[in-house]
Amino acid sequence: MEQKNNTLLVYTLLYFAFLYIPVLFLPIFSFNDANYMSFPLSGFTTEHYEEMWAKTNLHKALWASIKVGIVASVVSTTIALFAAKAFARYKFRGQNISYGAIMIPFLIPEIILAVAILVIWLSLGFKLGLVPVTLGHILFCTPFAMLILIARIEGFDFSLEEASRDLGENAWGTFYRVSLPLYLPGIIASLLLSFIISFDEFVLAFFLTGSDATLPMYMWAQMRFIQKLPHVLALGAVIIVFTTFIVLLAFWLRNLGQGKDKAEFGIKIHE
């Protein structure tokens, strides 16, 4: 019995090592006082971070990514909320087909999605830039958002909505006073995860940005110059920390009020 547990423990540790050791090299080398990623480490410095931040192009790219991320996450979460409610609440003709249709961008290779949007966008005579990137990201984020929201809305007691109607609220009042506060943890989790997916996305951005680089595009462009590698490491380290934080926050929110007692609910709304 003891033996078996040790085997599983070793397996688990190996798995996490495989997953995270490469990622850990980024922060380690980002504080190394050298231009190359090689051991032994030559000394501690925060210089790369200062240099990284001094680049005005970085600020531009960061702002572009934030804009795209906000619009993509808000729009995809809104679309996904309506869809998730429909799937969780009602049975209708074509349910499976429409579910599949929304999930497909999740499954087809991103590069195909990117090329398809590129071809259509250009043939319509539009210019490349952040707008097509945002549209692509909405397409790509919606399935993620829907998976999160369906998990939240499924098992939702819809008699709460009927009770609200019964107590004199119309459909909008019911949505605002009952449904929205109860879905809120799911909605925020969906916004955060959609934002992160958009923020980290490279392939669609690569095809569709034109000259307005997003952050991953900026990093990729920097990588071509060996002397700029340390900046990319520093930036990568910052992004890892930020992303990890947001994802943990999103998962915590998603599970809020769905623990041992389903009725227990974390967010109190005061009117």
**What are the residues binding another protein (CB under 8 A)?**
157, 159-160, 162-170, 177-178, 181-182, 257, 261, 263-265, 267-269, 271
Q: How far is the CB of 165 from another protein (least distance, A)?
A: 4
CB of residue 168 vs another protein: minimum separation in angstroms? 5
Instruction: Dig out the tokens for 238 from the structure.
Output: 């910052």
Q: Which residue, 119 or 167, has its beta carbon nearer to another protein?
A: 167
43 vs 168, which CB is nearer to another protein?
168
* C-alpha torsion angle, residues 226, 230, 234, 237 (rounded to 10): 70
In SS3 terms, 9-70 reads as: HHHHHHHHHHHHHHHHHHHHHHCECCCCCCCCCCCECCHHHHHHHHCHHHHHHHHHHHHHHH
Closest separation between CB of residue 162 and another protein, Å?
6
- The interaxial angle of helices 180-200 and 229-254, nearest 10 deg, is 160
Using CA atoms, how far apart are residues 225 and 218, in angstroms rounded to an integer?
12
Q: Which is nearer to another protein, 142 or 174 (CB)?
A: 174
Of 173 and 210, which CB lies nearer to another protein in the complex structure? 173
- Least CB distance from residue 2 to another protein, whole Å? 41
CA distance 121 to 133: 11
Of the two residues 93 and 224, which places its CB atom closer to another protein in the complex? 93
CB of 98 to another protein, least distance (A): 21
